[in-house]
Amino acid sequence: MKTVRAVLISAMASGEGKTTVTAALARRLVREGKTVRVFKTGPDFLDPMMLAQASGAPVYNLDLWLVGESECRRLLADAAQEADAILIEGVMGLYDGQPSSADLARAFGVPVLAVIDASAMAQTAGAVVQGLRDYGPVQLAGVVANRVAGQGHANMVRDALHDVPLLGSLSRQARALPERHLGLVQPGEIGEADAILTALADAIELDQAAWEAMPPVDFADAVTQPRHERPLQGRRIAIARDAAFSFVYPANIDTLAALGATLQFFSPVANEPVPPNADAVYLPGGYPELHAAALAAADRWHASVRAAHAADKPILAECGGMMALADSLTDVQGATHAMSGLVPGRVILQSRLAAIGSQAWDTASGELRGHAFHFSRIETSLKPTARTRRYPGGAEGEAVYRIGSLTASYFHAYFPSCPAAVAALFSGAEPR
């Protein structure tokens, strides 16, 4: 067994400041010379990018359904071997979702650090915290009061908490982590990302004695990761990676490598072509709508992906990847941009959310789990070859389209959930 200080950072709702507090705490601990490993609960790409920037290490996802309890246990055990502290950012409110952040905390005996937006409350914070602790219940390590007006305000919150320690407080931030329609702005797009993170680390008031008094968590010994067969041995997979195509789980990259693939990265936004020696292509999601003009002008990229398709090379296009392969993409301002034209139809951005939530695709090789989260819709004459199903409940989910060697969908797959299905997709097998 390995013991390490660990907390799951949650709140009563989204927007309370979980990511800000997690990032501030991670950067603070790193600057103190500690090794910090951060995880994100649930399906998410953007928060992990910022948390990786704050901690200096890749951020993996934990989720009892998407990732699975045994794999979550392995990831935590591996982190515990090298970390002085493990921070797990929750998703939504503490008890929201099936499974919830509270379920994850209880499964691994990790105490909860509750973030409270104190900007419009003082003593009522005590009632909120008591409810968060007792509803489940969960083991509550303490509270961070976010957006306090000053030390006097923080003291009022501390007095209201009674037997729950106020582990820290964070004043209202002059420079917050910037957001857009899908969530946080990617740190690579923010020239001052490190300066903001450092300022947050400086601003968070941490009760060092209370932090050190938290009992460490016992994690099982690191589990040897099962070795996959290597059906993709010798195959070269080209992966689009730039500001428009960045929504990739680190675990997906690990899975492709474990299956034997050699990975090559290229940038469609920079008009880089699909590497000509690639045997398959992976176009992940991202923000093609923000780079639609550059993509429309990327003639070498268009020609190369069409040539790959004509050569019958397997192509997996997820969400933004599919959007970039449509005939056209219309942004929220109403401007229409020509795309690669491999998926007949047009993609239209809208101001309201089109889909969100966990989903699964029942393939011939097994259940491939993942999620959907998008603001656009596609108008196409294509008939789906399959449909995902929503979790929980089983209602019909995203369409999966098959055009020759191309598989396209709004569905984001979590590759470790079914490596056999992933191997089939990238070796050209017909998915069903």
The residues assigned a catalytic role are: 319
Place of tokens 């995880």: 39
Helices (H), 192-298: 193-203, 208-213, 250-258, 292-296
DSSP 230: -
CA distance 345 to 339: 10
Q: What is the largest CA-CA distance in the chain?
A: 69
Asked if 177 contacts 23 with a C-beta cutoff of 8 angstroms, the reply is yes
CA distance 330 to 333: 8
Which residues lie below 8 Å from residue 19, measured CB to CB, with a gap of 6+? 47, 50, 51, 89, 177, 184
CA distance 274 to 267: 9
CA distance 240 to 318: 11
Residue from 9, 8, 13 nearest 93 by CA: 13
Helices (H), 87-144: 101-108, 124-135
CA atoms in the 13 A half-sphere facing the CB of 149: 8
Asked if 121 contacts 92 with a C-beta cutoff of 8 angstroms, the reply is no
Q: Can you read off the two tokens belonging to residue 363?
A: 């393939």
CA atoms in the 13 A half-sphere facing the CB of 169: 21
Helices (H), 317-372: 320-325
CA distance 281 to 184: 27
Asked if 11 contacts 94 with a C-beta cutoff of 8 angstroms, the reply is yes
β partners of residue 370: 359, 413
Tell whether omega for the bond before 137 is within 30 degrees of 0, i.e. cis. Answer: yes
Place of tokens 């689009």: 240
